[in-house]
Structure formats: structure tokens, C-alpha cells
Structure 1
Amino acid sequence: MPSLFFALLSEAKPWIQKTKVTPLSHPGKFRIYQNESTFIIITGPGKIAMALAVSEFASLLSKETRNQMKIWNLGIAGSNDPETKIGDFFWIHKVRDYASRKDYYPERILSSTYHKEKNLTTFDRPISKVQTDNRFQVIDEGELKSISLVDMEASGFFEAASLYFPLENIAIGKQISDFLEGKFCKENQVEEMIESILDPLYEEWITPLPWTREDLLETKIWPEVLLQLSHFRLTETMKHDLKKSLRFFHLRNPNAPIPSPDLGFSQTIKSKSDLKQFLEDWKEKLHV
């Protein structure tokens, strides 16, 4: 059963009509729709609202259900790339949070009708190249040189989703709606754009996840790592972060051996800061 997150009702409306989902009665804040095989969630704009909605939704599900659930965030995005045009759709393979400067790496969609990919930067406010009104944050040309697509939700979505769902189940896709001119799209324009890409994406969205093979990370790699590091006192946070890095490497290199940590350095660990440095050095190898 897949789940699909939108910030705006205008983004979600074509999907709601296509799937014939109905509102789910629940004690939470966010609008959740469902039918017998799918969920659609509308969060409202902004990365905080998106992260809270993901967390609220995840709390309604068992861990077993979450492990088998495809979870996507789709919606519109502004573009600073002159080679793109209105209506173009891209899968996102890197998200940068502008405020925190943190980077996130959604899993790549390898067999989609839409095969193009872009980087995305998430801002706290709508972005414009020119001053129009105070609802927009103006970004100068110098900063814009390193920016391709922009939105207000993706970093919140991915950071929250990665806490509850396997990384390989998470994907982000964005459709170009504007070129940062400092004006908002009308609701009917958004609906028409989303409608234009709905059918191919719908077929991909309802296709079950292909994870039929044994999860080697869970059954073999991670237990071996824990055994190897059993003489260290890793905190739960350390374990969580290291496991995410191991999964990142394993997903992109399923047939390659996991890079070994610096065991020579491990013999000299005398403090918590030494242990943190040991883990950071190892995670750096995993993200090459």
C-alpha cells in the first residue's frame, strides 16, 4: 500500500480524483485520504508541516507495514535552470536544506518513464530573483549559481521519512511551475500541470516495491557490524546514523563489500570524542 504526500490541495486534487480516496477519520491534525490500497496526505506548505505530517502518519502504522510501504513526495518546484521548461518533471537525487546546509540523498528511480534527475534546495520561504512583496525571499545571482530547483518541503519530508521508512522506499519528484519570478501559481494551473503527468506516475506508484530479495543489511551486514563493534559503547544515535550510512552504501553498491573501518585507529580510542571521530571517518568512506 503506497503513500503519497503533497503540500497543497491543488497538487493532490488530480490524484484524489483518480484514486477516489476518501477522508480517514483519525485524531491527528493533517488531512489523510485512503482507499483499500493507498494513502494520500496533504500537509500544508513548509518543511516543518511536512515533517510533522510524516511523523503523524507513521505513528498510525506498524513497523512491518512501514517497511513494505512505498512513500513519495510529489509537487511543484521553482527552477533556476534555463534548460528546463514549465511542466518538466524530475526525480530528485539530492536535497539541500538551505537553512541548515544539510544534504539528503533520496534513492534514485531507475526504471521510470520520467528518467531525468535534478538537485533540489529547500527554503523556508518562497524564493524570487526579484523583489515583489515581502512574502518572497530574494536570492542574489551569486547564490543562485549553485541552485537548480527550489521548494519548501522536501528536506522536511526526507528527514522525517528516513526515521520511519527504509531509505529505498522513499522518493521525491518535482514538476517545474515557475522560474522564480516572484509570483504564485494559480490553483487551476497547478492542477492542470499535475494532471499532465499523472497517468505514467500513477502506474509506477501503484506498482509494488521490488524488494523480494533478502535484506542483507538486516540479516547479515548489520549484525556483523554490531558484533565487530561490541566492545565499544555506541549510543542509539550512533547506531542509527551508522546504519543509515551502511544502507546508503549497500543500496548503491549491492554487490560490493562494505568498506572496513580504520581498525588501527579503533585501538587508540580512549574517549567519546575519539569514538565519534572513528565513526565519522568510517561514514565518510561509505558516502564516497
Structure 2
Amino acid sequence: MPSLFFAVLSEAKPWIQKTNAKPVHHSGKFRIYKNDSMYIIISGVGKIAMALAVSEFAHLLPKEERDHMKVWNLGIVGSNQLNWKVGDFFWIHKVTDYATGKDYYPERMTKSVFGMETNLTTFDRPIAKIKTDNQFQVLNEKDLESVSLVDMEGVGFFEAASLYFPLENISIGKVISDHLEGNFCKPETVESILANLLEPLFLEWTNPLPWVTEDPFETRIWPEIWKEVKELRLTETMKHDLKKSLRFYFLRYPNTKIPMPNLEIVPKIKSKTEVKSFVEEWKKQLHV
């Protein structure tokens, strides 16, 4: 049963109406809707709210269900590209947290009726090119040179979802609502923009995941690698981050041998500082 995350009700409303999903009564903070075949979750605005919504939802499910669940984040974005029109839809293959400069790489959507993809930058405040009121963070053209689309939730969604769901199950899709003029979209405008995409996206959304249940990374690749490095005595956090980086490389380059460090030095590594340095250098090779 797949799950679909939105920031606000106006984005989710066309999907709720089409699927006839009903509110789930639970003790948590976030709104969850469900029918016989899917979940729809509304987080509220901002990356922290989205991350918390993903975490709360994930904890309601057994791991076995999460491992086979398609997880999407859909919503509106501002665009710095004037040649892209309001209503254009993009799959996201790179998300950047503007506040920290950290990059994340969702798996690419290889088969879709929507063929355009680009990068997304997540900000902590709404973005405008000109000063309108104090709610908007104003960026000049130089600041926006590397920015294609902007939102406030993408990083929170992906970072949290990647903790609970397999990376290959996670996708982000965004539709342009404005060109950073410094105006908030009316709810009815947002509903209309999302409704125009619903039919073609719904067909892709309801298709099952295209891979078999056996995961070669989990059953073969990771156990072999872990056997070589487990004597490093990594913390659970370091182990999780390394495994996530290794899986990322495997998904991005499935026909390429995963880069490995010089394993001969593993028995000589003793201090926590040396372990951390060893792992960080290895991760750099995996995110080239």
C-alpha cells in the first residue's frame, strides 16, 4: 500500500477526493488519510514538519510493510527558470538544503509520462527575487545561479524517508506554481494545478513497484562488505550512514563495482578519530 506526502491540504485535496480516502484516527499530530489501497499524509509547511510527519507515519507501520511501500512527496514549487511554465512537472534527482549546503540524491524516475527532471533547493523561508514583505527571503540572481526549483519540504521528506524506507522506493515530484514573484498562491489555484496532473500521475502511482522482493544489496552485497569492515566497531549511526551511501552508489551505478578502500589498513585502525576519517573518505568515493 503506497503513501503520498503533501505539505498542505490544497495540494492533497484532489487526491483525497479522487481516492475517497478517509481520515485515520490516531494519537499523532499529523493528518493521515487512507482508503483500501493507499495513504495520504499532510505535514504542514517546512522541512522539519515534513520530516516529523514521515517519522510519525513510519512508526505506525511494521518494517515489512515499509520495505515494499512506494513513498512519494508531491507539491508546488517556485521556479528560477523563466522558460519553464506554471504547471510544468519535474521529477527531482537532487535535493539541496540551502541552510547547510548538504545534497541528497533521490533515485531517478526512469519510466514516466513526465520526462523532465531537475534539482530542487529547500529553503527555510519562502523565496522571492524582489522585496515584497518580511515573510519572503529575497535572493538576487547571483544567489540563484545554481537554483532551478525551490520549496520548503523536499530535504525534510527525503532525509527522513531514507531512514525508514528503501531508497529505490522514494520519489519527489514537483510542479511549478510561480516564478518567485513574492506572492503566495491561493488554495484554489494550488488545487487546480495539482488536479491537472492527477490522472497521468495516478496511473503511475497505482502501478506496483517494478522489482522483485529479493534485494541483492541486502542479501549479498552489504553482508560481504560488512564482513570485511565489521572489526572497525562502527557506531550504529556510522554504520547506517555508510550503508546508505553504499546503497546509493549501487542504485546509481548498478553495473559498476562499488569502490572499496584499502582494507589492509583496517586492522591497524584503532582510535575513533581514525575510524571516522576512514569512513568519511570512503563515503566521498561513493558520492562522486
State the TM bucket, normalised to the shorter chain.
over 0.9
Separation of aligned partners in 2, 1:287 and 1:114: 26
Task: Give the corresponding residue for 2:5.
Answer: 5
Task: Give the corresponding residue for 1:132.
Answer: 132
Q: Check if 1:179 corresponds to 2:217.
A: no
Deviation at 1:102, TM superposition (A): 1.1
Task: Give the corresponding residue for 2:262.
Answer: 262
Alpha-carbon displacement from aligned partner over 1:216-266 (angstroms, at most 9, x marks no partner): 111111111111013211111111011001100111222322222122443
Which consecutive residues of structure 1, in runs of 5 or more, have no partner in the other structure?
A: none
Separation of aligned partners in 2, 1:82 and 1:265: 52
Letter in 1 for 2:251: L
Instruction: Tell whether the 8 Å contact from 2:96 to 2:120 is kept in structure 1 after alignment.
Output: yes
Instruction: Tell whether the 8 Å contact from 1:94 to 1:106 is kept in structure 2 after alignment.
Output: yes
Letter in 1 for 2:207: T
Task: Give the corresponding residue for 1:234.
Answer: 234
Instruction: Tell whether the 8 Å contact from 1:129 to 1:138 is kept in structure 2 after alignment.
Output: yes
| Percent of aligned pairs with the same amino acid | 66
Separation of aligned partners in 2, 1:264 and 1:138: 51
What TM-score, normalized by structure 1, do the two folds share? 0.97
Alpha-carbon displacement from aligned partner over 1:26-78 (angstroms, at most 9, x marks no partner): 11111100001100011111111101100110010000000000000000000
Alpha-carbon displacement from aligned partner over 1:123-173 (angstroms, at most 9, x marks no partner): 111100111011111112210111110000000001110110010010000
Alpha-carbon displacement from aligned partner over 1:174-197 (angstroms, at most 9, x marks no partner): 000000000011111111111111
Task: Give the corresponding residue for 1:245.
Answer: 245
Number of aligned residue pairs: give it: 288
Instruction: Specify the SS of the correspondent of 2:231.
Output: coil
Letter in 1 for 2:52: L
Deviation at 1:211, TM superposition (A): 1.9
Separation of aligned partners in 2, 1:55 and 1:284: 27
Task: Give the corresponding residue for 1:14.
Answer: 14
Q: Check if 1:281 corresponds to 2:281.
A: yes
Instruction: Specify the SS of the correspondent of 1:92.
Output: strand
Instruction: Specify the SS of the correspondent of 1:142.
Output: coil
Instruction: Tell whether the 8 Å contact from 1:81 to 1:148 is kept in structure 2 after alignment.
Output: yes
Deviation at 1:213, TM superposition (A): 5.6
Deviation at 1:274, TM superposition (A): 1.3
Separation of aligned partners in 2, 1:265 and 1:100: 32
What TM-score, normalized by structure 2, do the two folds share? 0.97
Deviates more, 1:36-45 or 1:253-262: 253-262
Separation of aligned partners in 2, 1:250 and 1:176: 31
Instruction: Tell whether the 8 Å contact from 1:262 to 1:278 is kept in structure 2 after alignment.
Output: no
* Equivalence map 1:1-288=2 (5 Å): 1-212=1-212, 214-266=214-266, 268-288=268-288
Which consecutive residues of structure 2, in runs of 5 or more, have no partner in the other structure?
A: none
Separation of aligned partners in 2, 1:264 and 1:280: 17
